């Protein structure tokens, strides 16, 4: 059973962003299932590396849309993305030091990001992008 399920409350009404956000649900639920079966330590490295790739693609694409639409809060939005990148880097550094990252910390971080960034910060750009013709 999924820890968190995608529903309309997470939707920002921009197809590419919603699809990218669903990827986070997949990663989080995959890690959660692995932890339930005692495989969290084994899987967490792959999740961290996937999060690193995610930040390199999704954040750039989302910020490009925001810039194109002249979103007035782009600077603050970028700062939140940089904080996410910094946390993923910390998880990656932990992997390099002792070969593992704390799967509970990664899972908690992702769950908080979904609730606080996507449901709040990303929701704020939805209407602006849609009114600029970006769906």
Cα pseudo-dihedral 26, 27, 29, 30, rounded to 10: 110
Domain residues for 79? 13-131
Looking at the 3D structure of the chain, how many domains does it have? 1
pTM for the structure as a whole: 0.92
Rounded to whole angstroms, the Cα distance separating 135 from 133 reads 6
Q: What is the pLDDT of residue 75?
A: 97
Q: Residue 24: inside a domain, yes or no?
A: yes
Q: Residue 31: inside a domain, yes or no?
A: yes
pLDDT 10s digits, 13-26:
999 999 999 999 99
Q: Residue 110: inside a domain, yes or no?
A: yes
| Ramachandran area for residue 24 (φ above 0: left; ψ -120 to 50: alpha; else beta) | alpha
Q: Residue 3: inside a domain, yes or no?
A: no
Cα-Cα end-to-end distance for the chain? 31
Q: Residue 119: inside a domain, yes or no?
A: yes
Rounded to whole angstroms, the Cα distance separating 129 from 110 reads 25
The CATH number given to whatever domain includes residue 59 is: 1.20.120.50
Rounded to whole angstroms, the Cα distance separating 40 from 34 reads 5
Rounded to whole angstroms, the Cα distance separating 121 from 135 reads 17
Q: Residue 8: inside a domain, yes or no?
A: no
Q: Per-residue pLDDT for 99 more than 80?
A: no
């Amino acid at each position: 059973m999924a820890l968190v399920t995608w529903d309309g409350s997470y939707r920002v009404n921009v197809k590419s962003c919603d699809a990218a956000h669903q990827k986070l649900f997949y990663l989080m639920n995959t890690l959660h299932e692995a932890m339930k079966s005692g495989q969290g330590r084994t899987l967490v490295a792959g999740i961290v590396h996937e999060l690193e790739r995610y930040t390199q693609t999704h954040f750039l694409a989302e910020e490009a849309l925001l810039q194109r639409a002249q979103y007035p809060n782009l600077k603050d939005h970028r700062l939140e993305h940089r904080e996410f990148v910094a946390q993923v880097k910390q998880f990656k550094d932990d992997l390099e030091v002792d070969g593992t990252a704390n799967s509970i910390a990664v899972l908690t971080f992702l769950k908080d990001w979904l609730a606080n960034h996507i449901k709040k910060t990303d929701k704020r750009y939805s209407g602006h992008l849609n009114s600029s013709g970006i769906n």
